[in-house]
Amino acid sequence: MRTNTRSLRRAALVGAAIGLVAPGIVVAGSATADEPLDCSTVAWMDTSKTPAERAAALLEVSSQYQTYRWLVEQPATQPTTTSFRGVEYPVQVECTPEITYTDGPDGVRTSGTTAWPAPLAIAATWDTDLAYDKGDAMGEESFLKGRNMILAPGVASGRTPLSGRTPEYLGEDSLLSGLMAAAGVNGIQADGTVLGELKHYVANEQETARTTSSSNIDERTLREVYELPFEIALQRSDPGSIMCSYNQINGTYACENAETLGALKDDLGLDAGFVVSDFGAVHTTAASLNAGMDQELNRPRYFTPALLDEALAAGEITQERIDEAAMRVISAYIAGGLFDNPKPVATTDSVSTEAHKALAYQAGLESSVLLKNDGILPLDTSGVGSIALIGPTASSTVTDGISASSVCSMSGFRGGSLTCEDLVSAETAMTARAAQDGISVAWNDGADLTAAADAAAAADVAVVFGYQRMGEFSDIPDLHLQGGGDALVEAVAAANPNTVVVLQTGSAVEMPWIDGVDAVLENWYGGEVQGPVIASLLFGDESPSGKLPMTFPVSLADTPTAGSVEQFPGVADASGILQVDYSEGLEVGYHWYEAQGIEPLFPFGYGLTYSTFRYSHLQVTPTSTDGDHAVRISFRLTNTGDVTATEVAQAYVELPAAADEPSKRLVGWERVTLRPHQHKNVTITLTRDDLRDLHLLQYYDTEDGAWTTANGVYTVTVGGSIDTTLTDTFRIHHASRHHHTAR
C-alpha cells in the first residue's frame, strides 16, 4: 500500500495507522488499552483555541489515512468504524465526535418530529424572524433525534415552475430567498449543537436529467441570478457547508467546476465552511478536489485512500490541498459545536413540542396567500348554515391514494420520512370550528363529479380543494391541478354560487376557472397544522397575510422557458448530456414578465388580507448619493379597512438604463400590523453594508469582473406587490465598482 509523507513524523503516524510501527510505540493522539486518553488534555478539545487552531492540532497528530477520513462523510462522522463497503481506514484519532447528517429542508426527516409547512410556504411569510425560529426548532428536534447536521436550507432561482423541487426552495427572488435562507441557517445553528447547509450550488433548476444535464449560462446571468442568492445567504449567515449540485455548469460538473467553486470560496463568502457533494454527484478524484470540493457525501467512491494515494503520487493533487479540505471540515464541525456538544443517543419519543406546533400553526397562517376574494371571506357565520368540503385532500380519509397527508409535505410522497403523524385535516378542523356557530359540515371526496356537484348544491357554501403533488426526481408536466382538479372546481362552482377554492400546491397553477369562483386561498403544503390554519382563515379568526414568493402565470406558455426545448428540458448532445440553454438570461421570475410586458395571473409579492391598505407620502433620501451611503425609503401605510391585518410592504428599485437590467428589483420589505384606520410611517433603509454585500443597486460588469453601480436616476416604487404605482427617484453620481471577481 502506497503512503505519502510530509515528514518522518507523518511517516511514523501513517505506519502506526496501518500496523507498521513496532509494538509498544504510542502515537500522539492515541492511548494504550490501559490508559484511555483524557480528552480534556488534547489541544483539539481546548475551547480556548480557535476552531482553526484546534483543527490544525488534530491534523498534526493524524496519520495520512486518518486525514483522508475527513474527506468522505461516513468515515468523517463514524470515527471508530474502519470499513465502508470494503474501503478500509484506520480508527480515527481519539476525542473526535460521532456525527450524523440528516436531510430536511422541510423538516427533520424522521418520525416524532414536526411536519412544517413547505419551505416555499415559509418564503411566502416574508418573515425572517419566523424562518429563524423554524430553523431553531428544527435544530433542537434534530439534536434530540441524534442528528447534528441538517442538509438545509435549499435555494434556487425559480427558472421554471415545473421544477419538481420548487416547494423545497424559497422562491424566485434572490434577496427574498437569500435572506430567508440565512435566517434558517442562523436558526439551525443557534444552539451551537447542529450545523446547517446551503444547497444545491449552483443552477440546479430542474429534476429532468439532473445528473446528466448542463446548465449553459452566460457569466452575468450566472452571477446575478443563480449565484446571488447563495452570496446573500453567505453574507448574512455562516453555514457549516454548501452542497454542490448534480448538474454541469457550462459543460463541467458542479462538484468539479473550478470556476463556480472558486467563486464560492474566494468571492461569495464561504470563508470557513466546507463544500460537500450531493449523493452521487462526484465523477473524479483530482478534478473535484482541485476545484474545491472538500468532502464526498455518503460512502467513499472517488475520495478513497487508494485513489487519493494514486493521484498524490502522480502529482495530480497536493498534500496542501488534502490538508486544506480536512481543515475546512474539522474547523466547521468545531465551530458548529459538534466536538464540544456530542449528540445524544437518539430518542424514540416525539420531540415535537407544543411550542413547535404553535410555531408551525403561525407559519401556516402567515404563509397562506389569499389570491381572490369577492366578499365571501371571512365566512358570514350568521348567514351560513351548512358547508360542503369537496376534494380528497380535505380529509384524512384516503381516496384513490390521495388524502390530506398527500399535501402535508413534499417528502411524504418522495421516499422521505416526514410522516405528518399529528396531521389535522381541514375536515376535522372545519367541522370543529363550524360547530361553534351551529354550522354543519359535510365532506365529499370529489371522485364523482355529479355527486360532488350535488353535495355543493345542497350546502350554503362550497369549499373545494385542489392539489398538486411534486417533489424530487421528476418535474411536473404542466401547471394544471392534478386528479381532475380543474373539472372538479368547475363542477362545484356551477352548482353553488358561493364557492371558495383552497389550493394545496407546491408551485404555481393555472386557474381556467378563476372567474367562476368567489375566493381562492393558496395554502401550499401546509404541514400537520393545515386544517386548523384553513379553518381559522376561512372563518376570519385570523386575517391572511402571505405574499407570493413566485409569479403565478396565466398559462405555462407565458413562462420564461416555454419558448423551446433547448431552454427546457434541453437537447441531448452526442454524449447523452442534455444541453440546457439559459437563453432567457436575466429575465427569470418576475423580471421576465416585467421585461416582456406579460401580465401574470398573480404577480410576485401579491396577496390580499381581510382589510385594505393605502400607501402614501413616499420620499427617498438622500436625493443624490455616490452609491456608497445609506438610502432611506420612507412612506406612510394606512389600514383603510375595518379589521386588524398585516401587510408586507415592499420596496423595488429600477436601475438606470445604463445598467441594462430587465426590470425593477426587490430591495427590501417590512411586515406591518395595523388596527383599523391606523397608520404607520415606515422606513426601509438600504444600509451601506446592504448596498455593498447584497448588491441591491448594482449589476455585474463582465468586462471588469466586478459588481458595478451605474450613474443616473434610480426609480423607487412601493406597494403590496411588484405591481405598484407609487414612485419617487434619487440619483447616483460618481458610482464606484466593488467586489472584484476573478473568473
CATH fold of 8-335, please?
Answer: TIM Barrel (3.20.20)
The 3 state secondary structure assigned to 402-426 is ECHHHHCCHHHHCCCCCCCCCCCCH
Query: Stretch 552-579: mean pLDDT, rounded?
Result: 97
**pLDDT tens readout for residues 21-51:** 222 223 344 444 557 789 999 999 999 999 9
Higher pLDDT, 15 or 455: 455
pLDDT band at 734 (very low <50, low <70, confident <90, very high): confident
Q: Which residues are catalytic?
A: 278
**pLDDT tens readout for residues 286-332:** 999 999 999 999 999 999 999 999 999 999 999 999 999 999 999 99
| pLDDT surpassing 80 at residue 79 | yes
Q: Tell me the domain boundaries of the chain.
A: 8-335, 368-538, 556-596, 613-740
Amino acid 19: pLDDT:
31
Percent of the chain, pLDDT > 90?
Answer: 90
**pLDDT tens readout for residues 175-194:** 999 999 999 999 999 999 99
| pLDDT surpassing 90 at residue 210 | yes
| pLDDT surpassing 60 at residue 518 | yes
Q: 368-538: what CATH class?
A: alpha beta
- Which three cell numbers, joined as nine digits, stand for 17? 495507522
* Mean of all residue pLDDT scores within the chain: 93
pLDDT band at 725 (very low <50, low <70, confident <90, very high): confident
Element (H, E) at 689: helix 688-693
- Let me know if the fold of 8-335 is the same as that of 368-538: no
- Which three cell numbers, joined as nine digits, stand for 43? 489541544
**pLDDT tens readout for residues 679-706:** 999 999 999 999 999 999 999 999 999 9
Amino acid 737: pLDDT:
58
How many C-beta neighbours within 10 Å does residue 211 have? 15
- CA neighbor of 116 nearest in space, from 437, 628, 526: 526
Q: 613-740: what CATH class?
A: mainly beta
Amino acid 36: pLDDT:
79
**Contacts with 612 (C-beta within 8 Å, 6 or more apart), sequence order:** 639, 640, 641
Amino acid 419: pLDDT:
66
Higher pLDDT, 516 or 743: 516
Cα–Cα distance measured from residue 96 to residue 102, given in angstroms and rounded to the nearest whole number: 19
pLDDT band at 238 (very low <50, low <70, confident <90, very high): very high
Amino acid 18: pLDDT:
27
Q: Are 31 and 95 in contact (CB under 8 A)?
A: no
Amino acid 409: pLDDT:
84
Q: Are 669 and 648 in contact (CB under 8 A)?
A: yes
Predicted TM-score of the model (pTM): 0.94
pLDDT band at 256 (very low <50, low <70, confident <90, very high): very high
